[in-house]
Structure 1
Amino acid sequence: MRYAKYAACMISCLVLITIFSSFSNRDSNIINGFVRDAVTQQPIEAASVSIEGSRTSTLTLKDGSFRIEIASTKAVLRISSTGFTTQSITVLASGRVLNINLQPIRNVKQQPSSNRLEEVAVADNGRARQQPSVALQGSVAGIAVRNNTGRNKKYFTTEHNTEEYDGITENRFHDVLQSPLSTFSIDVDAASYSNVRRFLNHGQLPPAGAVRTEELINYFNYDYPQPKGEVPFSINAEYGPCPWNPEHQLLSIGLQGKTIPVDNLPASNLVFLIDVSGSMMSEEKLPLVKSSMKLLTDQLREQDKVAIVVYAGSAGQVLGSTSGADKRKIKDAIDALEAGGSTAGGAGIKLAYKIARESFMLEGNNRVILCTDGDFNVGVSSNAAMEKLVEEERGDGIFLTVLGYGMGNYKDSRMQILADKGNGNHAYIDGMSEAKKVLVNEFGGTLFTIAKDVKLQVEFNPVNVRAYRLIGYENRLLNKEDFNNDKKDAGDMGSGHTVTALYEIIPAGVHNKFTDSVDALKYQPKQKATTGASNEMLTVKVRYKSPRGNKSMLTDMVVRKHNSRRDLSANWKFSAAVACWGMLLNNSGFIQQADHAKVLELAQQATGADPEGYRAEFIRLVKKSQALSAGRNKDAAAEILTRE
């Protein structure tokens, strides 16, 4: 009996030692580290840290830190982030902290490299198959350097920049007596901001057409109150002296969409429509798309469904509708994608909508998520043809989210058309940090619509307002008759979204060069302002439809005149700073007394808590554009950041 008790005791001790050893070994195989920019020593958020030869990976946090478990001390870590060279290191010992510095691409002398270019074609059974590969010699920042052929198929990219942007004709001042109504469709897109950031981070000012001021403003969230009652958004208005002309007023109109907790959101029927053509080869395109879609996959619930459609020379389905609970299956399908071939974007869109209809959820969120650089060149491909195609497909209650990637051949104008005509939204993903913002932090707003065809109309009172100018929204302007026309398409608003619009107002009685130069009308009596409603500045009216409705509803608010100089909110100051910056980037004809110093002064007063660091980043970008605008080169701009 004594020996039996002794043996039992020994067995218990061995079990405890084994358990302790397993935990100890597990802890000893944990690698901690930090990833930083080698030039500025700033932390790199959302850099990918993976173990070569395995599916284990993680993303760095805001401070650049990461924690990853390895199977052995001979593991090779691969660290990558868009805009930086990828680095691989062999872990020789565990338990120590790794400090990893990634070189920005702009500071690395590019060497010719040989990449494999694979075309994804789709067989009759709908399963992807690989076509013969062709060598493509070297590419820098998405611009390849040589043409190649193979099996009578030609693959090429150009040596020059072929990015496409629609021109912008800046809104002018309107005399209230002649044009008292201002009407436009809301816009919750923010693609222009991240695209502008991409240009600045590569040491150059953005081209004409790339800067849409309303998208710069709406990149940021503002602290507006949640709506009360049945209307799915609140209306907020505030005005004060215009920062770039104190004789004028600057009016801010903000809508705050109702925030629906993720757990209460309706089930989703999603189709990932992924461009796998040859133009998507570079690191900031398909590899970033794959990482982005895996981030989104992590947000899905069991009741959500995902199918995957790809297109290159043709289009096909590579994953049938799959529960969000089966994340490994979805991620395996994403990991298997390779790039190559021409771009049949129209065929891909048609197939994606067809599959979305087959899995349609009556009470759910039905949406196609398109990931592309927009460089369509096979079949339906012109802007006009794509517009017609999307308009035909959108009528079944299926919304469209357009995520843009890449540089060198990015078709911004086409992405705008697809999002606008597809009852959707448009974001430009320039790195994993932006993917996290759009697909994780703003998950509900990006994917779940609370109001569609949202139109805003402002009626100005000539007693108090001489003239007005809407800042931005040039491609969203509507005729005054469109406001009450329910057949006229307009913008959509997602859960928790904010929408901000700014008007520069010339008060009644203030002389100005913008409207005083117009001759008096000859064939009609001179109009005069009435004295009615003398304490009102303007009335804001908003029309909207429910996500599945066809008849619009109306809500409004009156903005009254105030004489006292009120304290202006952080919302007003920061949106004014962004608007002012947009005018400087666009070399606006209405700059007046605006300059970068004014932008920085306003922004620094309104940074607030800034938990994600977006407003602090804005200040850094303003300093970069200030350096570049002064004629300095990209190294001077980088030096500004280094000194911070």
Structure 2
Amino acid sequence: MRTFILMMTMLLCYTAGIAQETRNITGKVTNENGDALTGVCVVVKGTTYGIATNAEGMFTLTVSTSPTTLIFSFVGFITQEIEVKEHTMVNVVLKEEITTLQEIVVVGYAEQKVSNYNAAAVSSKPNKGERRRAAAQANKFSIADAVPEDFNTEEYDGINENIFHGALQNPLSTFSIDVDAASYSNVRRFINLGQRPPKDAVRIEEMVNYFNYDYAKPKDEAPFAVHTEISTAPWNSKHRLVSIGLQGKQIPTKDLPASNLVFLIDVSGSMSDANKLPLLKSSFTMLVQALREEDFVSIVVYAGAAGLVLEPTSGAEKNKIIEALDRLEAGGSTAGGEGINLAYDIAKKHFKKDGNNRVILATDGDFNVGESSNASMEELIEEKRKEGVFLTVLGYGMGNYKDSKMETLADKGNGNYAYIDNLTEARKVLVNEFGGTLFTIAKDVKLQIEFNPTKVQAYRLIGYENRAIKDEDFNNDKKDAGELGSGHTVTALYEIIPVDVQSDFYKVDRLKYQTTKITDEAKKSGELMTIKLRYKKPNEETSALMVHSLIDSDTELSRTSDNFRWSASVAAFGMLLRESEYVKNFSYHDVVELAQSARGKDNEGYRIEFINMVKAFGPIARK
């Protein structure tokens, strides 16, 4: 697997070692078709100084006036080294990797065959150290500090994939929305390191919701608009696929309420790696640069104990906040519970009425002192959320990463959860999606779908396995659910078996002792389903109800929106990663073709990154 590991070595983008006499080298990186490549890693050879290309494929590096060699690397493409002498403009065309990952290695989770990092350099049965040395040789840099030797202590909650349910026997499907996107960037990290993600690390709804969708914005006072679409399921021509999209109202930054933010930062010994505390500092510096004068920041840290290192400070004093971040060093054990208590106490003490009160927790989740179990953490966060303080969880690192704990904290704390694996992801979460990440416009958002048994034989919700809610809790305003941020989009997909279709995935014998009567209204109705949504405004405890019905439009897949086809392609990739039985006749090549047809504008380059990642993951023919 080629060299997105380089992203791990450029997290700080140090300028050390560059002579005082410098010059700027600019350029553009494209593929052989002339398309700009976003996120290409451009590094000065022999250093950790580098940058990633922007949405237009452009980069600018300040280097010494002496001859300099630049390394250009991007997942799915052949790494290039270019010596730059007197030139100041360098345009590079990267060629796609012909030899892709035929078999993926899973380190620490299961015994798998060895991945083909480099056909010439890797023997048929290399050990783990040999694989790393071969990968490093192929990439022309050392990864000793980037990849831990022991990669077997990460924790993920188990996921049992949703099955088909009969619409006659189980007419209701109820779940909480999920705007988290941590699973996608975490999955990308595994693939970029040449490893197959553990199945339970793949949460399909988070992969789908990593991307923004071009849904129409709400026109009335509701905080979000509802959009539905239906067509053929790409992976099963006998089935239908329904998309339910929510588009949150976009609040201009200048109109956002004043913030009372508490940075809760893990500075324990496990955070010393370059892709943890150093990356964390750079990430938070980006966020600080986006703050306004009316926004205030406090900093709480925890290791063996917790402490306040910065009293509430205005966003106008950016240098003071950044200097406090720069002084942080890692060491000691991890008293996460104590840190959470102190952070919420600070947030409550400086609570802004009608403002944005939020704790931003940044950690690898490896708590080992005091309250540290998932159950105790869940109880602690459930108690704290009653104080009106929201939570954002940012995950860092690998090897000992505790995804299960991070997800629990975000789910139970009126929060959201992102995994930061590089500076590009940090910019996406904390700058590009600033409002959606930090400002809630609707909380406890729940959906309940009622299926018409005269149209639907069976259905299954794709993903959202750990977001299921009891049907009777839909109308229970005490039941916690997901939050929607300013400008956020949320997409949910249902796969449907029509009533006149025989399917291998749903076969139930007729009941002997009872029957279920279908109403005349259902028989007369052309509706496939009715969608009900409940939500609360951020400062209220009584929910409002929205109702939306869907009629099958018989639209061909090729005539659906880019939104529909893109979300379907990402969901299909997630199912392939999970080795789902429902997508066994679909291939990685099919995912790429579907995604390429729906790429759209892709201003930030996130979609082409996905396409290249899928190409690199499996044996996929060129388009």
Give the TM-score taking structure 2 as reference length. 0.81
Counterpart of 1:473 (choices 446, 449, 464) is 464
Counterpart of 1:506 (choices 491, 497, 501) is 497
Separation of aligned partners in 2, 1:436 and 1:377:
30
Separation of aligned partners in 2, 1:393 and 1:177:
41
Contact map agreement 2:460 2:495 (CA 8 A) in 1: yes
Q: Does residue 313 of the first structure (1) align with residue 304 of the second (2)?
A: yes
Separation of aligned partners in 2, 1:403 and 1:438:
9
Deviation at 1:510, TM superposition (A): 1.3
Separation of aligned partners in 2, 1:544 and 1:513:
37
Taking a change above 3 Å as real, the CA distance of residues 285 and 78 of structure 1, as seen in their structure-2 partners, is: farther
Higher-Rg structure is: 1
Counterpart of 1:141 (choices 128, 131, 146) is 146
Counterpart of 1:522 (choices 512, 519, 522) is 512
Counterpart of 2:136 (choices 92, 103, 108) is 108
Taking a change above 3 Å as real, the CA distance of residues 461 and 244 of structure 1, as seen in their structure-2 partners, is: same
Who is 2:452 aligned against?
461
Separation of aligned partners in 1, 2:316 and 2:144:
38
Who is 2:16 aligned against?
none
2:346 maps to amino acid: I
Question: Mind listing any 5+ residue stretches in structure 1 that lack a counterpart?
Answer: 1-26, 84-91, 111-137, 145-158, 631-639
Counterpart of 1:208 (choices 199, 203, 219) is 199
3-state SS of paired residue (2:360): strand
Question: What do the CA deviations read for 1:343-362 (whole angstroms, capped 9, x no partner)?
Answer: 11111111111111111110
Q: Does residue 623 of the first structure (1) align with residue 595 of the second (2)?
A: no
Deviation at 1:533, TM superposition (A): 4.0
Who is 2:566 aligned against?
574
Contact map agreement 1:31 1:95 (CA 8 A) in 2: no
3-state SS of paired residue (1:475): helix
Identical pairs, percent: 57
Contact map agreement 2:41 2:72 (CA 8 A) in 1: no
Deviation at 1:278, TM superposition (A): 0.8
1:346 maps to amino acid: G
Contact map agreement 1:390 1:418 (CA 8 A) in 2: yes
Taking a change above 3 Å as real, the CA distance of residues 45 and 481 of structure 1, as seen in their structure-2 partners, is: same
3-state SS of paired residue (1:241): strand
3-state SS of paired residue (2:199): coil
Deviation at 1:204, TM superposition (A): 1.2
Separation of aligned partners in 2, 1:64 and 1:315:
43
Deviation at 1:93, TM superposition (A): 11
Counterpart of 2:59 (choices 65, 69, 79) is 65
1:66 maps to amino acid: T
Who is 2:599 aligned against?
607
Contact map agreement 1:28 1:94 (CA 8 A) in 2: no
3-state SS of paired residue (1:590): helix
**1:340-359 correspondence to structure 2 within 5 Å:** 340-359=331-350
Q: Does residue 31 of the first structure (1) align with residue 24 of the second (2)?
A: yes
Question: What do the CA deviations read for 1:582-615 (whole angstroms, capped 9, x no partner)?
Answer: 1100001212422212211211110111111111
Taking a change above 3 Å as real, the CA distance of residues 275 and 374 of structure 1, as seen in their structure-2 partners, is: same
Deviation at 1:139, TM superposition (A): 5.9
Separation of aligned partners in 1, 2:73 and 2:335:
29
Deviation at 1:230, TM superposition (A): 1.3
Who is 2:271 aligned against?
280
Question: Structure with the greater relative contact order (CA < 8 A, sep ≥ 6): 1 or 2?
Answer: 2
Q: Does residue 304 of the first structure (1) align with residue 295 of the second (2)?
A: yes
Who is 2:13 aligned against?
none
Taking a change above 3 Å as real, the CA distance of residues 96 and 568 of structure 1, as seen in their structure-2 partners, is: closer
Question: Mind listing any 5+ residue stretches in structure 2 that lack a counterpart?
Answer: 1-19, 31-35, 76-83, 93-131
Taking a change above 3 Å as real, the CA distance of residues 79 and 593 of structure 1, as seen in their structure-2 partners, is: closer
Q: Does residue 438 of the first structure (1) align with residue 448 of the second (2)?
A: no
Contact map agreement 1:468 1:506 (CA 8 A) in 2: yes
Separation of aligned partners in 2, 1:36 and 1:66:
11
Separation of aligned partners in 2, 1:574 and 1:304:
37
Question: What do the CA deviations read for 1:85-143 (whole angstroms, capped 9, x no partner)?
Answer: xxxxxxx999956999xxx9983369xxxxxxxxxxxxxxxxxxxxxxxxxxx964352
Deviation at 1:363, TM superposition (A): 1.5
Contact map agreement 1:217 1:578 (CA 8 A) in 2: yes
The alignment of Structure 1 onto Structure 2 pairs a total of residues equal to: 546
Deviation at 1:228, TM superposition (A): 1.4
1:141 maps to amino acid: A
Separation of aligned partners in 2, 1:79 and 1:620:
19
Separation of aligned partners in 1, 2:359 and 2:71:
31
Moved more, 224-233 or 524-533: 524-533
Deviation at 1:48, TM superposition (A): 9.6
Q: Does residue 333 of the first structure (1) align with residue 311 of the second (2)?
A: no
**1:188-587 correspondence to structure 2 within 5 Å:** 188-516=179-507, 518-525=508-515, 527-528=517-518, 530=520, 531-563=522-554, 565=556, 567-587=559-579
RMSD: 3.5
Moved more, 185-194 or 594-603: 594-603
Deviation at 1:560, TM superposition (A): 1.5
Taking a change above 3 Å as real, the CA distance of residues 309 and 586 of structure 1, as seen in their structure-2 partners, is: same
Contact map agreement 2:27 2:60 (CA 8 A) in 1: yes
2:282 maps to amino acid: S
Taking a change above 3 Å as real, the CA distance of residues 560 and 419 of structure 1, as seen in their structure-2 partners, is: same
